[in-house]
Structure 1
Amino acid sequence: MKYVNHLKPAEIKTLTDGFRYSPSSRFRIRCHAILLSNKGYKIDKIADIIDFHRNTISIWIEQWESMGICGLISDASPGRPPIYTEQEQEKVCKWIDEQPQQLRDVQVRLEKETGKSASLETVKRNLKKIKV
């Protein structure tokens, strides 16, 4: 069975503070998993408690062992890929120049030409992103 090696009091304090006060829910859950492992809980039991797959818990323990607290911090996630290509966004800019008050018409025209549907809010967000 894989367990966290005995933690030092300073490590327990750091993990406890991370579990209690971190704004990141992912980090809090990972700290909790390491603390439970330190208390002797098996990976399957930890997985049941925090509702994650046992392989995920195992990865967290390995990351803790190799990198310490830094191994529990998530990298920035790039998010969802954009719906529209740069060329399609350029078309939207041109259409907005032609009809600046008709976003609904731009949305319909964009759907007809690209076959991609998006809410009016998504169209607005994309326009804001490309500074219109």
Structure 2
Amino acid sequence: MSRKKTFVKELTELEISNLEEGYKYGPSPDFRNRCQMILLSYRGFEVKAITSALGVCAHTVYANIKGWKTHGLPSLIRRPGQGRKPTLRADNEQHVQATRKAVKKYPQDSSQILRELEEMLDIEPIHERTLRRFLKKWATSGSASADG
């Protein structure tokens, strides 16, 4: 049994112009891609054709069409907090204190700092690049110079 064909059947002139403008001048590649999905669906392209043209999976196309039908243009915009959450946060005082202690204890050995943080914070293993990014954020926020 095959899936029911899903299309965007009706769009007003305003919606078409908004989608075309979003596709051409949208703020992010995701948004432009999603606008293009809706336009292609409206023009009669099947989901399989859209997936091969845009390099996305069918689930993505179905989800965006469903979002468009229920919420319109705002559903195509990525909302804050949709990405992966950081393992270490510069605004988390516990992370800052643990990092400060580990850096003081092992100032030149990042692998030891990583092990120390994993033990102290009881978190999943951290990659060295993650630690480096965190230390950069921490240093630019002004917290690194404060002695604790």
5+ residue gaps, structure 1? none
1:111 matched to 2:118? The reply is no
Alpha-carbon distance in structure 1 between the residues aligned to 2:68 and 2:102: 52
Number of aligned residue pairs: give it: 128
1:81 matched to 2:86? The reply is yes
- Aligned residue for 2:121? none
TM-score by length of 1: 0.78
1:55 matched to 2:55? The reply is no
Q: How does 1:112-131 map to 2 (within 5 A)?
A: 112-114=115-117, 116=126, 118-119=128-129, 121-122=132-133, 124-128=135-139, 129=141, 131=143
- Cα RMSD (Å): 2.8
TM-score by length of 2: 0.70
Which structure's residues are more often helix, by fraction?
1
Alpha-carbon distance in structure 2 between the residues aligned to 1:81 and 1:16: 35
**Mean alpha-carbon deviation: is it higher for 79-88 or for 9-18?**
79-88
**Amino-acid identity (%):** 25
1:94 Cα deviation from its structure 2 partner: 4.1
SS in 2 for 1:26: helix
5+ residue gaps, structure 2? 119-125
Alpha-carbon distance in structure 2 between the residues aligned to 1:7 and 1:86: 50
1:108 Cα deviation from its structure 2 partner: 4.8
